[in-house]
Amino acid sequence: MGAVIGVIIVLAFIGVIVVGSSVRVLREYERGVIFRLGRLIAQKGPGLILLIPLIDRMVKVDLRTVTLNIPPQEVITRDNVPAGVNAVAYFRVIDSRKAIVEVENYLLATSQISQTALRSVLGKAEFDQLLSERERLNEELQKIIDESTEPWGVKVTAVEIKDVEIPEQMQRAIARQAEAERERRAKIINSEGEYQAAQKLTDAADIISTNPASLQLRYLQTLLEIGSNQNTTVVFPLPMDMLEPFIGRSVGGAKPTPAPRPPKPAPEPPKPVDPDAGDLPPSRS
C-alpha cells in the first residue's frame, strides 16, 4: 500500500513538471517563436502559451527598443586627423521570426555592423564636418545600419555620435584657430564701428557747415560741458582768423614794411620814318 502511494506521488510530481514545462506566460512586449521538432511553426504571444512537452521549444524575443552603446572606434578622417569616436544606436525587433532564424545573435550582429559603419562613414568625412555636421552623419549612419539589419527583422530608429576625442596637439591647434577667428571678428567689428562713427561725423559736419548758427550753438555747448567739471583751467577755443594779427606781431615785433620797388624806366619814343625811303626801314651801318 505504501509503495502504491509512493508511485502515485512520483507520477503526480512528474505530471506537475510536465504541465509546468508546457505552459508559458508572455508579457505584452514579448513574443514566442515556437519550434516543433526543430521546425518553425508559429509566433505566439502575449498571454498564455501551451506547448507540447518534449516536442515544442519556444524562444522568447523582446520587442522593446534596445539601447546599444557602440564602443569607441579609432577613426582617421579624410584630412588625416586621428580621432576616437563613440556612438549610441537605438533599435528594436519588428519581426521575431527573422530575428531568430536569419541571424545567430541579432544583438551581437547589430553591434558589429554599427562599429563597421561608424568607421566607414566617419573615415570619408573631414574633421571640421565631424564637428559641425553631426546631424547629417547621424542620418547617414542610421540609413546604412538599418539597410544592413533589415533582413534580420531589426529596425534601427536612430544613431547618435556621443563624443569625439582628438590628440592634445590637435586640441591646441584648434584652440589657436578659434582664438585667431575671434580676433579677426573683433577687428572687423571695431573697423566697422570706426567707419560708421566717421560717416556720422562727416554727416554732422555737412549739416553744421550749412548753418553757421548751429556751429555757434555747438561752441556754446562745448563751453558748458567744460565748465560743468571742477577744473582749475578754462579753455576758450577761438577761430584762427581772429588770432592771425596777434601771432604775426608776437613773432616779429612790428610788422615790417615792404621795401619800395625801383621805378620802371620810361619807354623810348619811336623814331621818325622818312617818307621818301618807302616802306623799307633805314639800314644800319
Start-to-end CA span in the chain (Å): 192
17-22 average pLDDT score: 75
Exposed, middle or buried: residue 185 (CB in 10 Å: 0-12, 13-18, 19+)? Answer: exposed
Ramachandran sector of residue 37 (left: φ over 0; alpha: ψ -120 to 50; beta: rest): left
User: Which pLDDT value is given to residue 231?
Assistant: 61
Q: Which residue has the higher pLDDT, 15 or 85?
A: 85
The rounded distance, in Å, linking the Cα atoms of 138 and 133 is 9
Q: Tell me the per-residue pLDDT of 122-168, one tens digit each, with 9 for 90 and over.
A: 989 888 888 888 999 999 999 999 999 999 999 999 999 988 888 88
Q: Please state, rounded to an integer, the average pLDDT across all residues of the chain.
A: 81
User: Which pLDDT value is given to residue 250?
Assistant: 56
Asked if pLDDT for residue 212 goes beyond 50, the answer is yes
The rounded distance, in Å, linking the Cα atoms of 83 and 85 is 6
Type of residue found at 253? G
253-278 average pLDDT score: 55
- Choose the weakest-confidence range: 13-22, 44-53, 71-80: 13-22
Q: Tell me the per-residue pLDDT of 29-53, one tens digit each, with 9 for 90 and over.
A: 999 999 998 899 988 888 888 888 8
Q: Which residue has the higher pLDDT, 36 or 9?
A: 36
How would residue 114 be classed by pLDDT, with cut points 50, 70 and 90?
Answer: very high
CA within 13 Å, CB half, 121: 26
Exposed, middle or buried: residue 100 (CB in 10 Å: 0-12, 13-18, 19+)? Answer: buried
How would residue 237 be classed by pLDDT, with cut points 50, 70 and 90?
Answer: low
- Range picked from 5-9, 169-173, 187-191, 270-274 for highest mean pLDDT: 187-191
Question: 53: how many CB neighbours lie within 10 A of its CB?
Answer: 12
107-123 average pLDDT score: 92
Query: What is the DSSP-derived secondary structure letter of residue 214?
Result: H
Q: Tell me the per-residue pLDDT of 91-112, one tens digit each, with 9 for 90 and over.
A: 999 999 999 999 999 999 999 9
Check if the beta carbon of residue 78 is closer than 8 Å to that of residue 126: yes
User: What's the chain's length in residues?
Assistant: 285
- Whole-prediction pTM: 0.60
The rounded distance, in Å, linking the Cα atoms of 89 and 145 is 9
224-253 average pLDDT score: 62
Phi, psi of 64 (to 5 degrees): -75, 160
- Residue whose grid cell is 549612419: 141
Check if the beta carbon of residue 163 is closer than 8 Å to that of residue 83: no
The rounded distance, in Å, linking the Cα atoms of 121 and 96 is 29
User: Which pLDDT value is given to residue 285?
Assistant: 40
